[in-house]
Structure 1
């Protein structure tokens, strides 16, 4: 029968600690209280930016991102649907 020595125990312990650290994630949720509800959408056109669209529809940055919570403004594509009026 094999004996477990101190080096083996320490190595196993280090592996478990390392795996534990690697699997810990910070969960941060932002509860808005109300699920965003969109009333009007538009399709992105070539050259559009989030800022330009928000300005065109007289929306603040906060309200624009409030009704488009998962929108990545750096990766807009032509034809993408964007909410320009709604409740958040």
Structure 2
């Protein structure tokens, strides 16, 4: 009987530890926040991220990357929509 109680307590403790471990393993929210885009631009032939940024006096590279968090500047394509004005909230 004592063996079953010890086994039950060990299983219960293991379950509780696993629950705590996996509960703490949740992904954290995006620290930078969500981008809100106010002006979009359709990429045209020959444009790069750098040339798009250079066309806008109010846009720098860090801000461009913040408002376009999923952009891959090495592989932009004609017709791709990029945000050229906005904020991160």
Mark the runs of 5 or more structure 1 residues left unpaired by the alignment: 1-26
TM-score (normalised: structure 1)? 0.63
In 1: Cα distance, 2:52 partner to 2:68 partner: 12
Aligned residues: 61
Q: Give the TM-score taking structure 2 as reference length.
A: 0.62
> Which residue in the other structure is 1:79 paired with?
79
CA RMSD of aligned residues (A): 1.8
SS in 2 for 1:83: strand
Select the structure that is richer in helix.
2
> What displacement does 1:39 show?
0.2
Question: Which residue is equivalent to 1:24?
Answer: none
Match of 2:53 in 1: 54
List, as ranges, runs of 4+ consecutive aligned residues in structure 1 with deviation greater than 6 Å: none
